[in-house]
Homo-oligomer: A and B are copies of this chain.
Amino acid sequence: MQFTSEQRLDDGVLAREFTLGEIPGTLWTPGSAAPVPLVLMAHNNGLPKADSRLVARARYTAARGYAVATIDAAGCGDRPRSAAAEQIRAELRQAVQAGRPADELDELFESPVGPLVAQAVPEWQAALDALLRLPDVGGPVGDSGGWAALGIRLAVAEPRLVAAGFFAGGYVPRAQREEARLVTVPLLFLLQWDDQGNPRRRALDLFDAFGSKEKTLHANLGGHTGTPWFELEDGCRFLDRHLK
């Protein structure tokens, strides 16, 4: 892991850009020197790590006393894009905007998103290995991400993850819907009740499927990007209960 830049922010949070091989990432840590628990924060289905909503959540969580880390998925953010992948993205956007029926969209989403999740997992695990070697990053490790599909796969595959916060707002591939029952860590599931791009029934079924004995659903009105501000603190309270 190589740090390529650092910036001390107003609230004392230190933001550091890093690379791990070809993977670009960002690490935010609070002002303190002592090692703090680590929170992985992936953005939904490959949105870039520089997205303002992710950055705002990461900074808030870091200021609350956590190390927060994110990486760009392959073909996303600053990483090289293939023409084929760009073509598929364009088709997906058109299909969504054209209001194609849900089952057609499912098939369109399944082929790019499934492999994106599968490819991201070893990259996140490598990042986790490297991050836990840093002096100011301790354990335990939690997830507070906007990418439920990746979160599910990681929660099943990565024993170091002890608590998971997922956002129900992007396509979850069949394989992850089927393995949701294998997720057993304490879980907080965030749902926008009137998210036009996200079938509510499927999100509620997914919540029902999770195998965790301790699981909580928070649903709010406000549309896909309208998660109320108070959920930031609710999310941190969940992390406090399990990582501190």
A→B interface (CB under 8 Å) = 193, 204, 207-208, 212-221, 228, 230, 233-234, 237, 241
Contact = CB atoms under 8 A, between A and B. Distances in A.
Nearest to A215: B221
A213 B219 contact: no
A220 B230 contact: no
Given A193-B215, A216-B219, 11 more contacts: A193-B207, A214-B220, A214-B221, A214-B228, A215-B220, A215-B221, A216-B218, A217-B219, A219-B219, A230-B237, A234-B237
A150 to B, nearest CB: 23
Nearest to A234: B234
14 contacts: A193-B215, A193-B217, A204-B204, A212-B221, A214-B228, A215-B221, A216-B218, A216-B220, A217-B217, A217-B220, A219-B219, A230-B237, A233-B237, A234-B234
Tallying the copies of this chain within the complex gives: 2
Q: Is the interface of A mostly helix, strand, loop or mixed?
A: mixed
A208 B234 CA distance: 22
Contacts of A216: 218-220, 228
A205 to B, nearest CB: 12
Given A230-B241, A241-B230, A207 B219 contact: yes
A217 B188 CA distance: 12
Nearest to A214: B221
Contacts of A228: 214, 216
Contacts of A207: 193, 219
